[in-house]
Structure 1
């Protein structure tokens, strides 16, 4: 019984420490008229509003949509809480949350049996969540503490699709980006062909076909741009686990400036 009690106590301590870490992401709301986008924001250690900092926007996947302002931290948030990140990259990290009834990207999704098929729109109006995200981006980029030469975006699954979308809508804003298991209409690629980009996908992905990422990669090469492209042959949809473990991902991202 003592051993069980000890294990239970350790689990509580670990759980408490994890929750405390995530609490470093401050809960905020960005309101535009009658609409609101919720987001969590992590400021650097010893943040000084008189200084300028890089800003990274991280876009979550479909499963983390909602309005609780918590689920969007499920994947990726811990990566920016490590001592190595906090000491090496003094940056502001923002996790916006997409509403359940909306989507980051302008894409038509059809489910047939157990498969989902994505048809990405060329151009078109942005979704409500993307429209709010664009305004949120403008707001933070215009702040005195923003280093406008070092603004970044990245995301996974729906957020990977959203990364391509926000890049084509604001190609001059971002210094670099990464997209994990996402996709886009290749006709949009010319809009962000000059943005340094790292594309990831799992070779066994049965949720978002890896061909969607490869098509963007191939089109960018055709346009004269050579993005980084990594496919994990044995990974399924959760290829973000492998991408987050890439030791060069964050150094590569933050090495770029406009």
Structure 2
């Protein structure tokens, strides 16, 4: 059952229970841009003729010889495109900006990956509602993302493969659920925000560290979509040691990620997990 703990702004629901084919990969030219305490590098990966733009944050760290986490953030529909900029959410503290905040990088230096899908191609499924994973093919965006992860793990030996974290909002939240359902073995922890999933397959995530967020009054993506995933994980044997669900009491769609990225709790929770 769900245990609801209400505060003035947020009700936190703690759930009492929580073959990749070989493809052509063609990395393109890179441009380096100054970042907060590190550098953002812009690039593109081409997989099977599909181009996936992305930016990669490389932290400035004196932790020589120590492996660092990789945090991947998947954007929402408002940040979709091919210009390799909107997904950065510059001018906010959301998404990629949240993970490179000085206080967070000081707490734990980490690589941050911010890929971008075109408007017409989602991270998962073909629309906002829940879907059946068995009858929904993997999108080319998701295929390219998984290939990119593999390339980064090979080319950056200081990335710890046991500390790869995935977060995302709106269509990106849907992408987080989808990536973990299809490639559970790749991730140490997830932060899906305001997105839908495939509840009939949620048993695959019962041993995964997850902190999900959604606003009760979300008029874009129904709150039931996250509730259904959380409930399904619980019924499959999930536990509160691994699974958290924060349901924002007031606010529309954006309230989900404004809450998740509003303080350092998510970052502190995320970096403690290992695969």
Q: Do 1:107 and 1:119's aligned partners in 2 also have CA atoms closer than 8 Å?
A: no
Partner of residue 205, structure 2: 192
Residue 230 of structure 1 is matched in structure 2 by 246
* Superposition RMSD in Å: 2.0
Q: Secondary structure at the match of 1:201?
A: strand
- Structure 2 contact 99–267 (Cα < 8 Å) conserved: no
Give the conservation status (yes or no) of the 8 Å contact 1:107–1:121: no
The 2-side partners of 1:67 and 1:100 are apart by 8
How many angstroms apart in 1 are the aligned matches of 2:47 and 2:139? 14
Which segments of 5 or more consecutive residues in structure 2 lack a partner in the other structure? 1-32
Select between 78-87 and 156-165 the one with higher mean Cα deviation: 78-87
Q: Which residue of 2 aligns with 1:4?
A: none
Matched, 1:56 2:67: no
Equivalent residue for 1:8? none
Matched, 1:95 2:110: no
Larger radius of gyration: 1
- The separation in 2 between residues aligned to 1:249 and 1:108, in whole angstroms, is 27
- Kindly tell me: are residues 56 and 47 of structure 1, through their superposed partners in 2, closer, same or farther at Cα, counting changes over 3 Å? farther
Find the counterpart in structure 2 of residue 71 from structure 1. 86
Confirm whether residue 126 of structure 1 aligns to residue 138 of structure 2.
yes
Q: Kindly indicate whether the alpha-carbon contact (under 8 Å) linking 1:65 and 1:72 is maintained by their aligned counterparts in 2.
A: yes
- CA 1:48–1:256 in 2, change beyond 3 Å: closer, same or farther? closer
User: Which structure's relative contact order is higher, taking Cα pairs within 8 Å and 6+ residues apart?
Assistant: 2
Instruction: Write out the 4+ residue segments of structure 1 that deviate beyond 6 Å after TM superposition.
Output: none
Q: Name the counterpart of 1:141.
A: 153
Secondary structure at the residue paired with 2:186? coil
Give 1:163's match in structure 2, choosing from 142, 153, 176: 176
Residue in 2 that maps onto 1:181: 194
In structure 2, distance between residues paired with 1:185 and 1:150: 25
Look up the SS of the partner of 1:165 in the other structure. Answer: helix
**Is the contact between residue 32 and residue 132 of structure 1 (CA under 8 Å) also seen in structure 2?**
yes
* Distance in 1 (alpha carbons) for counterparts of 2:130 and 2:248: 24
Describe the SS at the equivalent of 1:58.
Answer: strand
TM-score normalised by the chain length of structure 2: 0.79
Deviation, 1:33, is 4.2
- Deviates most, 152-161 or 122-131: 122-131
Tell me which residue corresponds to 1:250: 267
Q: Over residues 123-177 of structure 1, what are the superposed CA-to-partner deviations in whole Å (9 max), with x where a residue is unaligned? A: 3321111111111122223342221111110100000000000001110111111
Q: Structure 1 residue aligned with 2:166, among 148, 153, 161?
A: 153
Q: Which runs of 5+ in 1 are unaligned?
A: 1-18, 110-117
CA distance in 2, matches of 1:173, 1:206: 32
TM-score by length of 1: 0.84
Richer in helix (by share):
1
